[in-house]
Amino acid sequence: MTTSTLTRARAGDEQAFRDLTEAYRRELQVHCYRILGSVQDAEDALQETLLSAWRGLDGYEERASIRAWLYKIATNRCLNVLRDSSRRPEERRPLTFEPPEPTRHGEFLWLEPYPDALLEGVPDAAPGPDVRYETHETIALAFVTALQRLPPRQRAVLVLRDVLGFRAAEVATILDTTETSVNSALQRARATLDASAPPRREGAPLPSSSAERELVGRFADAFVNGRVEQIVALLTDDAWVTMPPEPFEYQGMAAIDEFFKRAFAVRGARTDRLMPTRANGQPAFGHYIADTHAPVVRGVGVIVLTLEGDRIAQLTRFGGAALLARFGLPRTLPR
């Protein structure tokens, strides 16, 4: 940033403002997604952040960097969103079959997959000195899911400190609180995250590698053909199937075998299709089912795979045709 750029932006030069903020747009959107768990909410929070920054440039005192100032605005916008209990409808997307008894009933978590295309331009590592996680870990579904179980303020503190590496004093400024309060919230957040987060998955194939393509291809072939035994054979012993916001969660080969048998039993002669994409740094598919009244298949949601070695450790199904557009996928395809 140059003084002249800031001066021109304060004078109403929109291009100068874009020059000040453009480098941070993608990372700010990811930041909002980590806290909110929703792509749509993250996009809205980002736009509100930039609008607030544009209107409030005269109040920027230059005691912190533009980046830190933008994170202050974005974080507090996200906390405001989380305080608004009416921001999301309590809607469910019911399954099309009667599911078996789940391994456990999870929490009602509003969570959406994050398209990898939106990760382009996000730094691989945060510049702060106290980062505890690699960037790819903090966008993975397991981590984002664990974050959603934290109280909002603890969630914000943990992301700012352990993901982005801001110092405790900087976080206190961002949240208008004290360092003591920040350190206390961070300690509680870390304890909760350590207790609730699944173990880190080791040895996943490199993204888009031949090993990943081979495993993902075998899953797709088994899924579209309804071959339950072949799907189960690709799973780790402790694999999970989850379907946020539905609370049903299934763990282990026997439970997942029964789940897919019931799911595929309602297909009949119907043919499903999967269109490959990527979400949260993981292989994913747009899921389509045949329309009984037209020669097309219609999108019904997105399936994200979590891999471990040459096996699948988790399948996460997100219902809703509206998700497909975020991944550049059509709502319908020829049958």
Q: Please tell me whether residues 20 and 74 are part of one structural domain.
A: yes
Q: Please tell me whether residues 231 and 173 are part of one structural domain.
A: no
Report how far residue 32's alpha carbon sits from residue 68's, in angstroms, rounded to the nearest whole number: 14
Query: Which residue type sits at 49?
Result: T
Position 99 in a domain: no
Q: Please tell me whether residues 261 and 283 are part of one structural domain.
A: yes
Give the pLDDT confidence of 265-304 residue by residue, as tens digits: 887 767 789 999 999 999 999 999 988 888 899 999 999 9
Position 151 in a domain: yes
Which helix (H) or strand (E) element contains residue 148? helix 141-148
Q: Please check whether residue 315 is in contact with residue 274, taking contact to mean a CB–CB distance below 8 angstroms.
A: no
Q: Please tell me whether residues 160 and 65 are part of one structural domain.
A: no
For residue 271, what pLDDT is reported?
Answer: 77
Q: Please tell me whether residues 255 and 284 are part of one structural domain.
A: yes
Q: Classify 7 as helix, strand or coil.
A: helix
Position 110 in a domain: no
User: Structural domain tally of the chain?
Assistant: 3
311 or 121, which is more confident: 311
Question: Residue 299 is part of a domain; what is its CATH number?
Answer: 3.10.450.50
Mean pLDDT taken over the chain: 91
Position 50 in a domain: yes
Reported confidence tier of residue 232, pLDDT bands at 50, 70, 90 = very high
List of residues 6+ apart from 210 with CB closer than 8 A: none
Q: Please check whether residue 37 is in contact with residue 79, taking contact to mean a CB–CB distance below 8 angstroms.
A: no
Q: Please tell me whether residues 317 and 220 are part of one structural domain.
A: yes
Q: Please check whether residue 314 is in contact with residue 242, taking contact to mean a CB–CB distance below 8 angstroms.
A: yes
Q: Please tell me whether residues 146 and 59 are part of one structural domain.
A: no
Query: Encoding tokens for residue 137?
Result: 């870990």
Q: Please check whether residue 301 is in contact with residue 112, taking contact to mean a CB–CB distance below 8 angstroms.
A: no
Q: Please tell me whether residues 176 and 223 are part of one structural domain.
A: no
Position 91 in a domain: no
Position 266 in a domain: yes
Give the pLDDT confidence of 247-272 residue by residue, as tens digits: 889 999 999 999 999 999 887 767 78
For residue 13, what pLDDT is reported?
Answer: 94
Domain boundary among 173, 200, 227: 200
Q: Please tell me whether residues 157 and 233 are part of one structural domain.
A: no
Reported confidence tier of residue 97, pLDDT bands at 50, 70, 90 = confident
CA distances in angstroms from 241 to 15, 249, 315, listed in the order given: 47, 6, 5
Give the pLDDT confidence of 39-74 residue by residue, as tens digits: 999 999 999 999 999 999 998 988 889 999 999 999
- DSSP β-ladder status, 246-251 and 282-290: unpaired
Q: Please tell me whether residues 164 and 219 are part of one structural domain.
A: no
Give the pLDDT confidence of 110-169 residue by residue, as tens digits: 899 999 999 998 887 766 667 888 888 999 999 999 999 999 999 999 999 999 999 999
Q: Please tell me whether residues 231 and 322 are part of one structural domain.
A: yes
Query: Encoding tokens for residue 18?
Result: 């874009």
Parent domain of 16: 1-84
Query: Which residue type sits at 259?
Result: F
Question: Residue 58 is part of a domain; what is its CATH number?
Answer: 1.10.1740.10
Q: Please tell me whether residues 179 and 272 are part of one structural domain.
A: no
Predicted TM-score (pTM) above 0.85: yes
